[in-house]
Each structure stands twice: as C-alpha cells, then as structure tokens.
Structure 1
Amino acid sequence: MPGRILNRLNTSLERWLPEQRLFLRSDNATRFVRLRPLTQIVAFGGTAVVFGWSIIASSILVIDAISAGSSRDDILRAQSAFEDRLDQLSAERDARAAEAVAAQRRFSVALDQVSQMQSQLLSSEERRRELETGMGAVQTTLRDAIVARDSAKSEARDLTAVIEEQTGAPVGEAGRAQEFSVALDILSGELKTTAAQRSDAVQEAHEARLAAEQLTVERDQIIARQDEIFTQLEDAVALSVEPLNRVFRQAGMDPEEVLRLVRRGYSGQGGPLTPISYSSSGNAAISEGETRANKILITLDQANTYRIALEKVPLAMPVKSSFRYTSGFGRRWGRAHEGIDMAGPVGTPIYATADGVISYAGWQGAYGNLIKIDHELGTETRYAHLSRIRVRPGQRVSQGDLIGDMGNTGRSTGPHLHYEVRVKGRAVNPMEFIKAASNVF
C-alpha cells in the first residue's frame, strides 16, 4: 500500500520534476541511480533547510558580535564615568577640607582678636575702678582738710582770745587774713586737682563703654559669619558622603561596619597635646563653634575612610576587552551558580577588581585554573577557567593589575571567565557591586 501511494505521487510530480538518472560507469560495468521526483524534492528541501539554517546562524553571530561591542562600550563609558566622578568627589573633598582648615584658622584668629579685645576691656574697667578709688581717697582727704581747717580756725580764735586777754591788745587783722588766704589757696588747688582727675576718670569710663559695645558688635558679626561658613561646610560634606553610603548599601554591605574595619587598620595617633584656651566672659559660643568644626572634621574623615574602602572593595570590572554575559548569578540547571560568566576569546586579559593578597593560584577541580584574592573588608574574589595564571600565592595586587588570561579549563563549554564575589565566605551577586559603582557614579 505505501509503495502504491509513492508511485502515484511520483507519477503526478513527473510533470514538473521528470525522473533523472545518474550513470556510474566502470571498466567492467555501467550502473545508474534513479532520482525520482520525491527523491529530488527531499534533496531540494534538505538543501534549502541547510542554506536557511546557515543564514540564521550567521545572523545570530553578527547580532551577538554587535551586542558584545555595544556592551563593551557601555561598560567602558560607565567605568570612565565612575572614575571621573570619583576624581570629582576627591577634588571636592579636598577643597572642602581646605575650606574647613581655612575656616578653622580664621576662627582661631577671630578668637584671638576677641580675647585681646576682652583683655583691653577688662584693663579699662580696672583703670576705671582705680580712678573711682582714687576719687574716693581725694574726697576723703578733702573732707579731712576741711575738718582740719575748721579745727585750725577754732584753735586760731582760741589762741587769739588768749593773746588778747594776756596782752590786753587785739591781734592784727592782716595776719589772720594772710593765714586764711594761704589756707584757701591750698584748698583751691586740691579741689582743682580732684575735679580734673574726676573729669578724666569719667571720660575714660565713657570711652571704655563705647569700646566694649564695639567689641561686642564685632564679636557677634564674627560669630554670625562663622556660623554661615560652618553651615556651608556641613552641607557640602553631607552631599559628598551620601553617594558613598549608597555604594556600600547597594553592594549589600553595612557602611558602619565598613568604616569600623577601615579605621581599625588606620588607627595611629600621636603628637603633643596643647591646652584649650577659654574666654573670661563665657565660652558657650566658642564651644558650639568647636563642636561644629569637630563634626565637620569627623565627616571629612568619614569621606576619606570611604575613599580608602573603595580601593579595597571589588567594584571594578575584571574584563576590560570585548565580552558577552553568558550566565548570571543564581540557579542554573537545578544547581546554584555562585558567580557570573563573561565569554570572550582565549587569552583575554583578566584584571584584579580591588586591592588584596593572592590566597590561591592553581588548578582546582571544576574551576580549572583558579585565582583567589582576599580583600581587607571580609570580601574575596574568584577568577576561574583561566588559560594562564600570572600571579603566585602571597603576592599583593592592586586594583587593575593583570592577574591572568581567559581560558576554557575545568568544567567549561567554551572560553569564558567565571567571576565570583564572596562576603565573609558567602557568595553574593557580583553584579550588585558592579551596578552599585555604575549607578551611583
């Protein structure tokens, strides 16, 4: 039955595809192969399928090559923007630090001026009190002189009366007038001196009050300007630190823990201790200014600590040449895939993504040629399936150093880099670190 159906189909197709015969001749015999219409259709169909598959495969390869080039350009632009932004933040941080130092110096100069003005005010007050004391002593002396004069007059009258009584003749008025004139001259001189001293004391006291009021106004202006400078510095340093906070939060790390670990490694102190000076009229404003200045310096130290931490966290790309993402972090074929795969040609350079120490460099099972780098903040990076290892265990590397070449060793279906990031021994998604840097900067 099937043969009959095939014969009918061949008979109906002979109008368009006549039967063809392929002769095979040898020295002893001649044979031929019959190419019936159905056979010709199958051959043509197979040829068309192979040709179409070749076109589709070529198109896919071209699209992949174009997308790989575009991805590489995007990554290079993101990395360049990250480096430019980091340089800008460093320059801005240095400028803010210089402004803070200059403001601290101006604040110290202003404090010295206020201290000098207060010393002058206290000196003028002391002189005024001394003049008032001197005026009191002069007034006491004047009162004693008046009492002595009255007593002398009384004694003179008594003596005059005794002399007149003994001599029986009156004492001359000219002698008494001359005595009274001398006494009056003495009293007048004392009164003039006292009045002049009192006038001078009043004038000096008035000038001292005016100087004190002017010093108070100048001090208030200095404090207001200092407050404005502190406000600007506080806003600037806050804006500089917040993006750095976001980097570590998006990478899944606790910013406070990062700062604590970095400070533990950079904790040297020393130098002489200088006593703090205090104002004699109260140090509330000075204490507040010093407190705000210390807060600014603490924030600047936090930004500098973050800058150190950025060099120790794997935020950079391990591959700078053209590549294609072929597998992400997570479940793959029912098993956990603890990194990301970046495919490229064999020999593509592989770079360290952060400062650290090589803890392993050699063959390790399914990883093939493997490099492990320990970083300071509890992070570790792994670079697997390498064709060549360019470092040795114990070697210290910096971010961007060449450590190996991409390969196809271990359990691998093609040349690629298997890249892992581990935090305290736990595998995390490396794209969180890469995206944290590119998104923030």
Structure 2
Amino acid sequence: MRRGLTLKIHAFLERRFPERRVFLKSDSDTRFIRLSSETQILAAVGTTLFVSWAIVATAIVLMDSIGSGNFRDQARRDQQVYQERLNALSQERDRRVEEALAAQDRFNAALGQISTMQSELLASETRKRELETGIDVIQSNLRQTMNEREILRRTVLDLREKTAPDSPEQLLAATAPEQLDFLTTALAETAAERDQILSDARSALAERDDLELELQLAAQRNDQIFRQLEEAMAISVEPLTKMFSSAGLPPDRILEQVRRGYNGEGGPLEPLSLSTRGTPPTPDEARANGLLHQMSQLNLYRIAAERAPFSTPVNLGQVRQSSGFGYRRDPKTGGRRLHKGFDFAGGTGTDIFSTADGVVTHAGWQSGYGRLVTIQHAFGIETRYAHNSNIRVKVGQRVSRGDHIADMGSTGRSTGTHLHYEVRVNGKPVNPMIYIKAARNVF
C-alpha cells in the first residue's frame, strides 16, 4: 500500500515537474545532468526561501535606515530647541542682572535722597524750636511791658491828683503821655514781630509736614525697590542652588571654599554700615544688608559655576551621543565592562572645548586613551578628553570654560571617530551627564 502511494505521488510530481536533462557538450565528449522531479522541487523551494529572505531583510534594513534618519532629525531638532532655550535663559539671566544693578543704583540714589531729607527735617525741627523759644521770650517781654505800662499809668493819675500844677511831679506826669506813646509804639512793633514769628513757625510746621510726606513717599519707593531686588535675587540664586545640589556639590561648602580662595577684583560685597553710634541697623539697612549678602552669594555662585564642569565638551548640534556611563558590552573584547565616561560621536576634527576653568595636567599619548587631555579643576574635579586627533594645549596651561583644547579623532583603543569624556571627583569616575543635566535649565 505504501509503495502504491509512493508511486502515485511520484507520478503526480512527474506531471507537474517532468524529468529534465541538462546537456554539457565539449569538442570531444557530450555529457548530461539528470534533474529529477524531487531535485526540481527542492531547487524551487530553496530559491523561493532565498528570495523571500532577501525581500524581508531588505525591508528591515530600509525601515531601520528610515527610522534612524527620523531619530537623528528629531534629535537634531531637539538639540536646536535646547540651544535656543539655553540662549533665551542666558538672555533672561542677563536682563535680571541688569535690572538688579539698576535697582541697586536706584536704591543708592533713594538712600541719598532720604539722607538729604532727614538733614532738612532736623534743620526744620531746630528752627521750629528756636522760633517757639523766641515767641515765648517775646510774649514774656510783652506781658512785662504791659504790666509796667499799667503801673506807670496809675502812677501818673495818682501824681495828678496829689501834686500841685507846677510841681516837678506834675511836669513828669505831663511828659508821661509821650513816654506812653513810645511804649505803645514799641509794643505794636513787638506784636507785629510776634505775629511774623508765629507766621514763620506755621510755615516751618507746614514745611515739616511736606518733608514727612516726602519721607513716606520715599519709604514706599524704597520698599518697592527692595521687593524688586529681592524677587530678582530669588529668581537668580534659587536655580543655581538647585544646580549645585543636583550635581552632588553641597552649595554651602562650595561657596565657603570659593570665598576662602577668592582673589579676583572687587571681592564679595560688604554689608552697609550707616550708623557711627553703635545703634542696631534700621529695617531698611537690614534689608539692604540681606540683598548685598545675596548679591555676594550670586557672585560666588558665578565663580563656582565657571570652575565646575557644567558645560558640554562639544557642540551638541554637531555630534550624537553614542555610549553612556555605566556597565556595557566591551566593543573590543565583547565582555561586560564599566564604561567610565560618556561618548560623543562626530566627524574627524570636530572642536572639543574645556567644560570648566582649570589647569592642564596631561596633554599627550596615553595607552587606551590615545591622544588625551586631562584638566584639573576646583573642588577635586578632573575631566578627561580622549581619542583626539590633535591636541591644542600644553601641560601647565590654564584654560577657561569654552576654550578650544583639542580636535575629535579615533586614536588609541577606539572603534570610530568620537570623544570619550570623563569626569572624576577625587579620582573616582562619575557620570558626566549629572553635571550637564543639572545646568540644563540654568545656562
């Protein structure tokens, strides 16, 4: 039965794929190759499988290529948006600093105006006291003169009644009206002078009220200036504090270290001292001292930010991130190994920049790293830039953040053109993206 089924299948295949012979003819001989039905079926199935595999593989490669192109375009757009955001934040920070400086100038001018008005108010108070004292003296003299006049009038009347017409007393009484007229004139002049003094006193009081009103308006303007300055300082200082904390750098310790090593021009701002009598500072002086402390803190933050590697070593619009920090499959040996830095792939000769102020401690060949640049920064931080095609700095050279220090290459233990960027704190490698991401919303 099995043989009969086999014969039927063979007959079916013979009808569909009849036996063929391929003749090979030479000058002296003729040979042929016999292609049975089974051989033709196997060849057809193999050819179909190969063509199908080729079509699927080609489709996968094309889809991967299209997807990679879209990803690179998206990454390029994201980098451009990120760069524009950085520029906008930098401009906003500069505007805030300019507003803070302008507000500080207005505050200093307001302090000068307050000092002038206080001096004028003190002079007005002194003049008022002098006028009040003068009025009291004049009134006392006036009362005394009026009493003397009344006593003299009574004395004259008594003399007229008691003495003879031609007596010396009568002559004295005759001349008494002239003396009374003189006294009356003097009293009238004194009263006019008193009225003038009273008028001057009222003018002085009105002037004092005007000065007090001006002082109140100046106090309101000062309070507004203080609020603007305090808001500007809060907006400027808080992101910097968050940036250092995110990077694992304690802000208080970093600022104290910068303050101890500060040797630039200007120096930290000193508190105001407007009193020479040893009295406690006024509320305005206390607020001004607080603002000066925040400005000094902002200046120290600026110095510290230039000494820590918060910048990127390459222009992100010209490279792509090819390998991150951490354990990975080694591209050379295939084993699992710690990748101690971050790789940026780009074209040969791409500019490489210093990410912070520091001193070059190595600029040459080192096994595995190829052409290597090592920079020592503050706070025990060291950065390394490996696999360069060209080095543009020398050992001992002091560099600033953003200086062009090398060109990208593929020297040393490398599989392609890229920058291997390392950050080490006290000799221990850390993820460089901690610093770059911490500064993403600040610079």
TM-score band w.r.t. shorter chain: 0.7 to 0.9
Counterpart of 1:332 in structure 2 is 328
Match of 2:226 among 227, 230, 233: 230
Residue type of the alignment partner of 1:404? A
Task: State the shift of 1:235 in Å.
Answer: 1.6
Aligned residue for 1:295? 290
Match of 2:93 among 89, 95, 100: 89
Asked whether the equivalents of residues 323 and 342 of structure 1 are also in contact (C-alpha less than 8 Å), the reply is: yes
User: What amino acid is the match of 1:260?
Assistant: E
Q: Does 1:77 align with 2:85?
A: no
Q: Deviations over 1:118-161 (max 9, x none)?
A: 2133123223313423543565566678778989999x89xx98
TM-superposed deviation, 1:85: 1.4
In the alignment, which of 236, 241, 244 is matched to residue 240 of structure 1?
A: 236
Tell whether the 8 Å contact from 2:389 to 2:407 is kept in structure 1 after alignment: yes
What is the rounded CA distance, in whole Å, between the counterparts of 2:390 and 2:352 in structure 1?
A: 10
Aligned with 2:313 (options 318, 321, 335): 318
Residues 262-286 of structure 1 show CA distances to partners (whole Å, capped at 9, x for unaligned) of 443345559xx9x966699xx99x8
Matched, 1:365 2:367: yes
Question: Quick check: 236-245 or 91-100, which moved more?
Answer: 236-245
CA gap 1:309/1:269 in 2 versus in 1, 3 angstroms = closer
Q: Which residue of 1 aligns with 2:72?
A: 68
1:65: Cα distance to partner?
Answer: 3.7
How high is the TM-score relative to the length of structure 2?
0.77
Distance change (3 Å), C-alpha of 1:276 and 1:418: closer
Q: Is the 8 A contact 1:142 1:190 kept in 2?
A: no
Deviation at 1:440, TM superposition (A): 5.0
Q: 1:419 aligns with which of 398, 410, 421?
A: 421
Q: Alignment partner for residue 265 of structure 1, among 262, 266, 274?
A: 262
Distance 1:326 1:381 in 2: 19
Given that 1:317 and 1:353 are in contact with CA atoms closer than 8 Å, whether structure 2 keeps it comes out as yes
The number of residue pairs the alignment matches comes to 420
Q: Kindly tell me: are residues 317 and 171 of structure 1, through their superposed partners in 2, closer, same or farther at Cα, counting changes over 3 Å?
A: closer
Higher relative contact order (CA 8 A, sep 6+): 1
Secondary structure class of the residue paired with 1:376: coil
The whole-number CA distance in structure 2 between the counterparts of 1:267 and 1:368 is 37
* In structure 2, C-alpha distance between the alignment counterparts of 1:9 and 1:437, rounded to whole Å: 77
Q: Deviations over 1:16-72 (max 9, x none)?
A: 666677777777777776773335534553454355434423442443243234313
Cα distance 1:175–1:398, how it changes in 2: closer, same or farther (>3 A)? closer
In the TM superposition, residue 418 of structure 1 has moved relative to its aligned partner by 2.0
For each residue in 1:186-233, what CA deviation from the matched residue of structure 2 results, as whole angstroms up to 9, or x when unmatched?
543444344334333333333333322232222222212221222122
- C-alpha contact (below 8 Å) 2:114/2:218 kept by paired residues: yes
Task: State the distance in 2 between where 1:390 and 1:431 align.
Answer: 25
> 1:395 is matched with which residue: 387, 394, 397?
397
Specify the code of the residue in structure 1 equivalent to 2:76: R
In the TM superposition, what is the alpha-carbon distance from 1:104 to its structure 2 partner? Answer: 1.8
**Inter-partner Cα distance in structure 2 for 1:402 and 1:55:** 44
Q: Matched residues in 1 for 2:392 and 2:28: separation?
A: 68
Q: With structure 1 as the length reference, what TM-score do the two structures score? A: 0.77
* Code of the aligned partner of 1:234: E
CA distance in 2, matches of 1:8, 1:352: 82
CA distance in 2, matches of 1:375, 1:19: 83
* Corresponding residue for residue 342 of structure 1: 344
SS state of the match for residue 60, structure 1? helix
Identical positions, percent? 37
Mapped partners of 2:441, 2:375: distance in 1: 25
Asked if residue 45 in structure 1 is aligned to residue 49 in structure 2, the reply is: yes
Q: Which residue of 2 aligns with 1:3?
A: none
Q: Which residue of 1 aligns with 2:250?
A: 254
Structure 1 gap segments, 5+ residues each: 1-6
Alpha-carbon spacing, 1:138–1:30, altered in 2? closer, same or farther (3 Å): farther
- In structure 2, give the amino acid aligned to 1:327: S
For 1:279 and 1:193, the matched residues in 2 are separated by 47
Q: 1:432 aligns with which of 431, 434, 439?
A: 434
Query: Is 1:108 aligned to residue 112 of structure 2?
Result: yes
* Equivalent residues of 1:104, 1:293 under 8 A apart: no
After TM superposition, give the deviation of residue 371 of structure 1 in Å.
1.9
Would the aligned equivalents of 2:156 and 2:176 in 1 still touch at CA under 8 Å?
A: no
Give the C-alpha shift of residue 101 in structure 1: 0.7
1:98 counterpart residue number: 102
